[in-house]
């Protein structure tokens, strides 16, 4: 396994590796605790252009019903009342631009769609690794984060939740993408 040393080594089309990728979130509860969760079903791909990073792009589709927090009752409430997984089965992200901040950090601009509402967002992305994988493929590793106000997408259940759950939710991604031949 080798680590990339030059961004242009990454140029190519990639598919997310769901076995090594985690799409999660953190929300603060008024009892000073944090609720952490993840989505278990998702797919995505990207085109990375190492010579012209602004030409790169990515898309992600998450199955809303795949949300898991480790508490079945809370998961059911999040699926039904917050995400309306029956009416809006997917959450999506489609990039609209990329800006290189430094050697390994980027800002990824795009549109996030939740509950049928689309809003522009900016993810902070860090290139963490890349090189030859153990299965003979080439991979790139990234972390990304984004803090949103869930109310901007109508992700709320009732007036009580407005007082018990912070409107700010941090989305966290640890991504491994495999370059397609």
The pLDDT tens digits for 117-156 are 999 999 999 999 988 887 788 999 999 999 998 888 877 7
Helix (H, G, I), strand (E, B) or coil at 41: coil
* Domains of the chain by start residue, with CATH: 7-179 (2.40.128.110)
pTM of the model: 0.88
How much is the mean pLDDT over the chain? Answer: 88
Identify which has the larger pLDDT, 84 or 164: 84
């Amino acid at each position: 396994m080798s680590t990339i040393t030059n961004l242009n080594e990454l140029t190519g089309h990639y598919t997310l590796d769901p076995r090594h990728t985690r799409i999660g979130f953190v929300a603060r509860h008024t009892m000073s605790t944090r609720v952490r969760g993840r989505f278990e079903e998702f797919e995505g791909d990207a085109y990375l252009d190492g010579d012209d990073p602004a030409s790169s792009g990515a898309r992600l589709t998450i199955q809303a019903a795949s949300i898991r927090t480790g508490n079945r009752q809370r998961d059911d409430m999040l699926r039904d009342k917050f995400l309306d997984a029956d009416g809006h089965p997917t959450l999506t992200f489609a990039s609209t631009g990329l800006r290189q901040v430094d050697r390994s950090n980027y800002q990824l601009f795009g549109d996030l769609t939740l509950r049928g509402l689309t809003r522009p967002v900016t993810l902070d992305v860090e290139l963490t690794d890349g090189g030859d994988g153990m299965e003979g493929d080439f991979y790139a590793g990234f972390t990304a984060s984004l803090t949103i106000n869930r109310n901007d997408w109508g992700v709320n259940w009732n007036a009580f939740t407005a007082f018990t759950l912070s409107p700010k939710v941090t989305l966290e991604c640890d991504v491994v993408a495999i370059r397609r031949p």
